[in-house]
Structure 1
């Protein structure tokens, strides 16, 4: 497992590098990932707009900034993502904002399809659900815990809908995006900071 983590870190992107890669691919009519479809490209374009908005509007509460800055150890948030993923578009800017307000957290991003061995270690109910945040102690690279693919209330929203309707379709995806919009990243921030 340690080799898989080290390989992923070697192949990782900073937030800025990740954003530049996704933008470059969109300009070429592509999405990240091994599968290329018109739908994935459209999701990538929509997600880029979402991420741009979140970068401008997200605010980290002072209490969470203080908690992060009072940590006694440094951490790496090794995060599995893809540019077409709607949850990732909502979560990755939050991780970036937390990284910006603290020198105790470093965000490293890897693409799911290019890091299958890592993804296989962090499946959610047998599926390759992303984003997945793997929290490492920076000095030792020891895995502390993992989080994802979405905060608990959002997970429950999807699980309840799937239990009732048998599928995750467009109506619940719209409800999920509304939930993210109203939450303003606060639940995700709190859940992640509590893990440290």
Structure 2
């Protein structure tokens, strides 16, 4: 597994490189990923605006800052993502804010379609759902857990909607975006902080 982690890290982007890569592709009317379509380019454009907004508005609560300040080990937050993914647009900027709070965290991002082997290790109920965060101990490159593709309550919203309506349609996606807007990244921060604290105790 450490060889796979090394290979994935060699193939990773910093947050700014990831943002620039998405922007450059959009200038040519393209999205990240192996599949190209007008829809995916449209979603990528929407997501770029979302990420721009979140970078300005997301605040890390003091309670989370204190817990991050208490980390003893260094960790790599390896996130599997794509520019067209609506959940990733809501979550990756939040993870970046967390990483900026402490020198114990380093954010690396890989694209799902370029990292099949890694994605296949971290499927969600058999699906290639993203974003997926793999928590890696920096000294050993050992994976200490994973998180994603959504915070617990957001995942429940989608599961409940699908159980009731049998399909995830535009209304479900709108409800999900409203949930993210209201949550302000706090559930994501709390759940990832808990994952970090558990990893520190291993």
Q: TM-score range by the shorter chain?
A: over 0.9
Kindly state the Cα deviation for residue 162 of structure 1 after the two structures are TM-superposed: 0.9
What secondary structure is seen at the aligned counterpart in 1 of 2:106?
A: strand
Mapped partners of 1:105, 1:189: distance in 2:
13
Count of residues in correspondence between the two structures? 196
What secondary structure is seen at the aligned counterpart in 2 of 1:8?
A: helix
Mapped partners of 1:72, 1:181: distance in 2:
32
Kindly state the Cα deviation for residue 65 of structure 1 after the two structures are TM-superposed: 1.0
Residue 9 in structure 1 maps to residue 42 in structure 2: no
- Please name the residue that 1:154 is paired with: 154
Kindly state the Cα deviation for residue 69 of structure 1 after the two structures are TM-superposed: 1.4
1:117-136 pair list within 5 angstroms: 117-136=117-136
Is the contact between residue 76 and residue 106 of structure 1 (CA under 8 Å) also seen in structure 2?
A: yes
The 10-residue stretch of structure 1 (61-70 or 169-178) with the greater mean CA deviation from structure 2: 61-70
What secondary structure is seen at the aligned counterpart in 1 of 2:150?
A: coil
Kindly state the Cα deviation for residue 141 of structure 1 after the two structures are TM-superposed: 0.7
Kindly state the Cα deviation for residue 58 of structure 1 after the two structures are TM-superposed: 0.3
1:1-196 pair list within 5 angstroms: 1-196=1-196
Kindly state the Cα deviation for residue 125 of structure 1 after the two structures are TM-superposed: 0.7
Moved >6 Å (runs of 4+): none
Kindly state the Cα deviation for residue 104 of structure 1 after the two structures are TM-superposed: 1.0
What secondary structure is seen at the aligned counterpart in 1 of 2:76?
A: strand
* Consecutive unaligned residues in structure 2, runs of 5 or more: 197-202
- Structure 1 residues 9-56: Cα deviation after superposition (integer angstroms, max 9, x where no partner): 000000000000000000110000000000000000000000000000
Kindly state the Cα deviation for residue 5 of structure 1 after the two structures are TM-superposed: 1.1
CA RMSD of aligned residues (A): 0.6
* Consecutive unaligned residues in structure 1, runs of 5 or more: none
